Structure 1
């Protein structure tokens, strides 16, 4: 047991405090990419301004999944890291007198940050995304004269 303990304070800081937040953000983004992988392979419907489906585009699907993955990474990464930073300042200021009070404050901060970050994360990218016709597959480019097409990003 003693062999694998973290002896250095810097190592403890990095492993216990700094590393988990980016890892959670990356894991969240990876989960979105895995769950929505059929959109990478099969594509999603692309519509013109009137809502008429022009075709199914893999490039629009890739863009939609990337946007959703980024918004999830921001949501969970921030929700995990900001309360840890705030808890550090609460501990340093000695605002919480008991471990139970500190745990309650930490739960309140996590809930508050999650509640605040959820609308921010969902509004980072519009629900109905735009993509230029030049960025799409040749068969879709030839089927319409519209310069910008639209797709449903999903949540």
Structure 2
């Protein structure tokens, strides 16, 4: 079992534990470290006899964990490409999702921005054991093909994109990670010994990740839009309409920044599945009542 998964097995048993760790791991400044520094940190964790028993007591060891967890894939042990590491997600995804949800003059602009957003999240999800597909310019296409006004235009411009974004986030993860529940993923015992390959564990891993991703984007968009709905009627915005765009950006960044560690923490990184929920061939291979797998991010 990779040291990152060993960490989550002891330090990620509760949502509160996972949330505190992810809030620390998502610090963008860790992106400034070189691959050589990351490799040295991994070596320290692998050679220190105390790291797994007392992982956060020593400051140097704590920093090594932060680098390893933020930069190294727990399934392969390889360093994740810089732009797809978890700390890079907020700085890169926020402007893309913000631009994709702005009112556009035509469907072409909407499609381009939404494609870029979903393309980036696809790369992120693939690099971290997950994936996403592409975009939803459908509301803008409808508005440009049919002249809508009043409540219908509000529906297609303001309301529909939010649940559509959440649904497509689920759809995208399910599509690109389809091989995990079609071919199965490795399940292991508490000591890290691989017991077999399970399609049911793969399906559970993908479903949990898809649900957390939909909740992240759906909630992160609906909060700013709901606040702006009321703020639009204030004297400040009536007198300063140009302040709407930077205010929306600020709210989007704040919502995503607050919800990102929550999304990553909802389900354990080291997923658990009951022995009775697995395939018959795995049941005959072990007497363990609970088995584990890498869920991905």
TM-score (norm 1): 0.93
RMSD: 1.7
| C-alpha displacement of 1:84 | 0.7
- Which consecutive unaligned segments of at least 5 residues does structure 2 have? 1-142
Q: Tell me the distance in 1 between the aligned counterparts of 2:252 and 2:144.
A: 33
Q: Tell me the distance in 2 between the aligned counterparts of 1:4 and 1:15.
A: 11
Q: Which residue of 2 aligns with 1:67?
A: 208
Q: Which residue of 1 aligns with 2:169?
A: 28
CA 1:22–1:2 in 2, change beyond 3 Å: closer, same or farther?
closer
Q: Does 1:133 align with 2:275?
A: yes
Larger mean CA deviation between 105-114 and 31-40 belongs to 31-40
Q: Does 1:110 align with 2:252?
A: yes
Q: In the comparison of the two structures, how many residue pairs are matched?
A: 154
Larger mean CA deviation between 106-115 and 32-41 belongs to 32-41
Q: Which residue of 1 aligns with 2:284?
A: 142
CA 1:49–1:12 in 2, change beyond 3 Å: closer, same or farther?
same
| Bigger RCO of structures 1 and 2 (CA < 8 A, at least 6 apart) | 1
| C-alpha displacement of 1:34 | 1.3
Larger mean CA deviation between 13-22 and 63-72 belongs to 13-22
Structure 1 residue ranges (4+ consecutive) displaced by more than 4 angstroms after TM superposition:
none
Q: Which residue of 2 aligns with 1:92?
A: 233
Q: Which residue of 1 aligns with 2:182?
A: 41
Q: Tell me the distance in 1 between the aligned counterparts of 2:144 and 2:172.
A: 35
| C-alpha displacement of 1:2 | 10
- Report SS of the residue matched to 2:284: helix
Q: Which residue of 2 aligns with 1:83?
A: 224
Q: Which residue of 1 aligns with 2:152?
A: 11
TM-score (norm 2): 0.50
- Report SS of the residue matched to 1:95: helix
* Structure that is richer in strand per residue: 1
| C-alpha displacement of 1:74 | 0.5
- Report SS of the residue matched to 1:92: coil
CA 1:143–1:99 in 2, change beyond 3 Å: closer, same or farther?
same
- Which consecutive unaligned segments of at least 5 residues does structure 1 have? none
